[in-house]
Structure 1
Amino acid sequence: MNIIRTNSPTQTQKHDLYLLQDTCRNHDSISLTFPMEEDCIYYLLYGEEVLLSAISAFFTENQDYECSAFTAPVHRRKGYFVRLLKELLKETGETDLIFPVDETCPDTLAAIKAIEASFWYQEHIMELPPSQLFKTSHSKDRRYSDKLSLTIATSPEETPVQCVFLLEGSTVGSCFLDFLDHGTYFYGFEIAEPLRNQGLGTACLSLFLDTYFAHPNAKRFKKLFLQVSGLNEPALALYKKAGFQITETLSYYVY
């Protein structure tokens, strides 16, 4: 067995990481991936030039390390993940390690239980289903429907696209759109703090959806999806009210 530590995987190592990742994704029916970012730490465990297990970590703005780990299905429950984790801990010290986990995978849950990581919170991926995509009108709030407008703050060439909400000409909120191959990612939706809890979020989201799906190329946008924390109950309720449905849930564990 050979353990390699690197911040810059070679092309061969990247190929091995992708192969390991895709093998695990197909076996476990999950969507998690390795982050391929420049500031990532990687520990790779090889056996006879075959990548058996790998763990990656990157330092976040929350002053912790977010980690991803994969072990080839036929080589699980042999202690490989724990060996890599011990090597990583020598470098990260007392800093918290955060593991995003798809709880539909029993092997992952067993590994998390074995290291006695603590549950923190959940993140949900929500998607507007086909039955909701091309509604011509969403619920309106009469207090705002005639006073609210939406404008694009970025140039046509820029990505992501920033949408700004105006109430009688004054900025009251914004959101961002990132057009990806598999759909449009809606994120950063925010209402100015003094104006929250007054129905303005619902009105702005309604206006956005009407504007988005009225676009001539709307049918080419594919799905519209977003990510929301399970701790943010008002946002979760708002998106459900607008027709979004949870399609995937990640649980975050702290070690």
Structure 2
Amino acid sequence: MNIIHTDTLNQIQKNDAMVLQEICKNHDHISLTLPIEEDCIYYLLYDEGNLLSVLCAFITENMDYECSGFTHPLHRRKGHFKRLLNEFLEKAEESDLIFPVDESCVGTVSTLKAMDASFWYQEHIMELPLTQSIKINQLKNGFSFETLSLSIASSPEETPIQCVFLLDGNQVGSCYLDSLENGAYLYGFEIDEAYRNRGLGSACLSLFLDTYFAHPNARRFKKLFLQVSGLNKPAISLYQKAGFQILESLSYYVY
């Protein structure tokens, strides 16, 4: 068996990783994918030209490593992923390793618990078909919806797009939008602290949906996705009122 460590997958390695990913996704009924386009570190375990296991990791803004990987269903419980992990630990040194997992994948959860990885928190992936939006005509504390505006810092043809929300000309919030293969990804949606608890979250989200997705260049996006912490109940409630539904729940473990 041969372990390959690389910062850049060649085309053959990328194809092998994608094939292994699809085999595991179909077997385990999960939607997790390898972040191939990220600045990742890769460890691949080959046996006679067949990719049996892969581990990839990228460094987060907190200087931790977020890790993901797959092992062929026919070659599990043989220590293959552990071998890759041990190789990576020599590079990671004292950094924490973060593993996002689908709780329905019992084997992965069992492996992490056997490694003494600790549960950190849960996060939900939510989706919204782009035929839905919410309507807010009046904000709390006397603010009128008509005084709220949206400024797009880049053209809809470019991604990621930064959006800034203005109330009476003052910035009250912002969000970002990036493109995915099967939709668009909303992230960084935030209302400035001084303007919270006035109903601006609902109003800004409504304005964003009505403004951006009415643009012809945005109609190629069939769905809008976002991720939200399971601990952030107000945000989950806001998104659900806008029509978002929980598509998948991920649990994060720290090793």
Give me the TM-score of the superposition, normalised by structure 1.
0.89
Residue in 1 that maps onto 2:246 = 246
Letter in 1 for 2:137: K
Q: Which residue of 2 aligns with 1:77?
A: 77
Distance (whole Å) between structure 1 residues aligned to residue 221 and residue 50 of structure 2 = 40
What residue is the counterpart of 1:141 in the other structure? 138
- Residue deviations 1:124-147 (CA, integer Å, cap 9, x gap): 1111257xx245x62332433122
Paired residue type of 2:154: T
1:76 is aligned with what amino acid?
R
Structure 1 residues 6 and 181 mapped into 2: Cα distance closer, same or farther (>3 Å)?
A: closer
Please report the RMSD computed on the Cα atoms of aligned residues, expressed in angstroms: 2.2
CA–CA separation in structure 2 for the residues paired with 1:208 and 1:155: 14
Q: In structure 2, what is the equivalent of residue 174 of structure 1?
A: 174
Structure 1 stretches (4+) deviating beyond 6 angstroms? Answer: none
The match for 2:31 is 31
Counterpart for residue 191 of structure 1: 191
Alpha-carbon distance, 1:216 to partner: 5.6
Could you tell me which amino acid in structure 2 is paired with residue 81 of structure 1?
A: F
- Deviation of 1:111 (Å): 1.4
Matched residue, 2:20: 20
Tell me the CA shift for residue 5 of structure 1.
1.9
Quick check: 204-213 or 97-106, which moved more? 204-213
Task: Report if the CA contact (8 A) 1:66-1:98 is conserved.
Answer: yes
Deviation at 1:249, TM superposition (A): 1.1
Distance 2:153 2:9 in 1: 38
Q: How far apart are the structure 2 equivalents of 1:10 and 1:150?
A: 42
Aligned residue for 1:146, secondary structure, equals helix
1:99 paired to 2:99? yes
2:156–2:217: 8 Å Cα contact kept in structure 1? no
Cα distance in 1 for residues equivalent to 2:88 and 2:194: 44
What displacement does 1:51 show?
Answer: 1.0
Asked if the contact 2:129/2:222 (under 8 Å) is kept, the reply is no
Q: Deviations over 1:160-194 (max 9, x none)?
A: 22222111122211222224341222222121221
| TM-aligned CA deviation for residue 92 of structure 1 | 1.3
Return the letter of the residue paired with 2:136. Answer: S
TM-score under structure 2 normalisation? 0.89
Distance (whole Å) between structure 1 residues aligned to residue 195 and residue 217 of structure 2: 33
Does the 8 Å CA contact 1:185/1:224 hold for their aligned counterparts?
yes
CA gap 1:127/1:9 in 2 versus in 1, 3 angstroms:
closer
Count of residue correspondences: 252
Equivalent residue letter for 1:141: Q
* Unaligned runs of at least 5 residues, structure 2: none
Supply the AA of the counterpart residue of 1:110: S
Against the structure 1 CA distance between its residues 124 and 86, is the aligned structure 2 distance closer, same or farther, given a 3 Å change threshold? same
Q: 1:151 to 1:236 in 2, by over 3 A?
A: same
- Percent of matched pairs sharing the same residue: 67
